């Protein structure tokens, strides 16, 4: 119960911090861990491992890696699937089969695994420039300012690790943010970020980020 309470407080804190930040504060300290028990989480995540991998690396391009992902981010996604703030045929139903404590434990388990790593593919100067600097003239912010160098999200636990994530999964998420099919980011920030990206830019960004 104490774990769960800490977890909720940490979540609220992260929400408040985010609400007060329009740009990204890369110098901010990492949020406290979600407070789950990773040892229990390893057992409780048995039904997840068939798809997401025992080590949090999936073998299907459309199923995201969870290895090294921030516990607070993973926990938020699971709660969003439970509440309907984020929808997906499989995850919406599976997420409802776990309790609040299991959700925190499982998130802690995957967070503690060796972080997902790209294979260096997807080199693309235009995508790299967009990732690092954005495009001020078109109102596209730097991805790196929030997601960190190589998309490894050092600053704030609500900004997910994206570097080394599967390309097909990244592509789908970027299209869904742009169309509004996914709209669960704080203040709709990701919907705004990707609004001006072209199909070709989404394709090359997904490849570039996946390779990091
Ligand atoms: C049958 C396969 C399957 C199983 C079993 C499964 N998942 Fe998933 N999971 C998926 C797919 C596919 C997605 C991608 C959803 C999307 O495209 O939005 C996903 C997405 C997620 C995400 C979002 C990741 C991100 O980067 O935003 C989390 C978190 C997650 N799953 C956790 C779990 C947990 C925890 C379990 C076990 C309780 C579980 N999944 C079981 C297939 C599965
Ligand atoms: C102002 C901060 C900010 C900027 C800039 C930003 N992001 Fe994000 N991004 C977020 C947040 C916060 C989330 C998590 C949303 C949630 O809670 O579901 C996210 C989520 C994502 C996801 C989903 C990850 C997953 O595992 O499902 C992808 C992909 C992504 N961002 C790509 C990008 C790209 C590409 C750019 C640059 C064009 C970018 N982001 C710029 C804050 C940002």
CB 157 within 8 A of CB 54: no
Which residues, 6 or more positions from 194, have their beta carbon under 8 angstroms from its beta carbon?
A: 174, 177, 178, 202
Burial zone of 115 (CB within 10 Å; 0-12 exposed, 13-18 middle, 19+ buried): middle
CB 207 within 8 A of CB 127: yes
Q: How far apart are CA 3 and CA 99, in angstroms?
A: 13
Tell me: the pLDDT tens digits for 25-67? 332 333 334 589 999 999 999 999 999 999 999 999 999 999 9
Q: Is the CB of 91 under 6 A from ligand 1?
A: yes
Q: Is the CB of 205 under 6 A from ligand 2?
A: yes
Q: Is the CB of 158 under 6 A from ligand 2?
A: yes
13-34 in b/e form (b: 16+ CB < 10 A) is: ebeebbeebeebeeeeeebebb
pLDDT by residue for the chain (212 residues), tens digit each?
A: 334 333 333 333 333 333 333 333 332 333 334 589 999 999 999 999 999 999 999 999 999 999 999 999 999 999 999 999 999 999 999 999 999 999 999 999 999 999 999 999 999 999 999 999 999 999 999 999 999 999 998 768 889 999 999 999 999 999 999 999 999 999 999 999 999 999 999 999 999 999 99
* Ligand nearest to C-alpha 153: 2
Half-sphere exposure of 191 (CA within 13 A, CB side): 10
């Amino acid at each position: 119960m104490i774990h769960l309470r800490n977890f909720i407080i940490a979540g609220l804190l992260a929400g408040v911090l985010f609400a007060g930040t329009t740009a990204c504060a890369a110098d901010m300290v990492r949020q406290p861990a979600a407070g789950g028990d990773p040892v229990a989480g390893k057992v409780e995540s048995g039904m997840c491992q068939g798809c997401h991998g025992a080590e949090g690396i999936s073998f299907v391009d459309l199923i995201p890696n969870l290895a090294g992902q921030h516990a607070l981010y993973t926990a938020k996604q699971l709660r969003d699937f439970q509440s309907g703030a984020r929808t997906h045929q499989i995850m919406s139903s599976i997420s409802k089969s776990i309790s609040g404590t299991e959700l925190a434990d499982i998130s802690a388990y995957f967070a503690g695994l060796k972080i997902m790593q790209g294979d260096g593919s997807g080199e693309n100067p235009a995508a790299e420039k967009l990732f690092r600097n954005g495009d001020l003239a078109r109102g596209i912010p730097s991805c790196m300012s929030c997601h960190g160098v190589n998309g490894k999200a050092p600053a704030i636990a609500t900004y997910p690790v994206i570097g080394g994530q599967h390309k097909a999964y990244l592509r789908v998420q970027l299209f869904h943010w742009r169309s509004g099919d996914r709209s669960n980011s704080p203040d709709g920030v990701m919907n705004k970020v990707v609004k001006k990206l072209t199909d070709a830019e989404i394709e090359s960004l997904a490849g570039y980020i996946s390779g990091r």
